[in-house]
Amino acid sequence: MEINNNNYLREYMQYDDEKSYRFHEKDTSDRCFICKENTPTLLIFRHIKSMMLVHLCRDCVYENISDYLLDNTRPWTGEKGKL
């Protein structure tokens, strides 16, 4: 069964629902999910097939972008205009 990801995100994911922000069971925060390299910068993306979050290095994002979504569904909780 194929999920229409846009509809899934709109209907089932809520920014205050912690279940929507689970990391893939094979993901670790210190290594890229795909190449397993420990790189200085890891980005968080949503794996489309599993709809789980994963950490990716820049090279793997570039080479596999059709399999991942940039996940920015949570609202900013800090003060606006402050970094």
Residue 30 has pLDDT above 80, yes or no: yes
Q: What is the mean pLDDT of residues 9-27?
A: 66
Nearest to 3 by CA among 47, 72, 49: 49
- pTM here? 0.66
What residues have CB less than 8 Å from 42, skipping those under 6 apart?
29, 30, 31, 32, 55, 56, 57
Q: Residue range 48-61: average pLDDT?
A: 91
- Which is nearest to 60 in space by CA: 78, 77, 37, 79? 37
Domain ranges of the chain: 5-9+19-70
pLDDT computed for residue 2 by the predictor: 46
